[in-house]
Amino acid sequence: MAKIILRDMTFHAYHGVLPEEKIIGTTYIVTLEIETDLQKASETDELDDTINYQFLYDIVKEEMQQRSKLIEHVAGRTLRSVKNKFPEISSATIYLKKKNPPIGGFLDCAEVVMSI
């Protein structure tokens, strides 16, 4: 087994419970880590023998564009979409950071980490 990691993908999105979060939005940083068999790709040097990074990125981007109240929901939905598209993935982990969450004080980010 091996891992493919798309690190620190950055999106402006509109997730949140508060009304202003749905209007203003904020920055989200997403890292997606998948585990799969990359042996064949390491031997053939063919894109068809691996998981295309662009397809993974597109899934994350699409899920980030769908508004949700909770980043936990976004993270879970994204993992399910990745696993549905690529059943050969043995596991996937998402790290989803919400920059500057409105908590009444300074905080760089709130983050959820989920695996499937």
User: What amino acid positions are annotated as catalytic residues?
Assistant: 98
Closest CA to 76 of 7, 84, 8, 21: 84
Residue 6 CA to residue 26 CA, distance in Å, equals 20
Token pair, residue 76, equals 């879970």
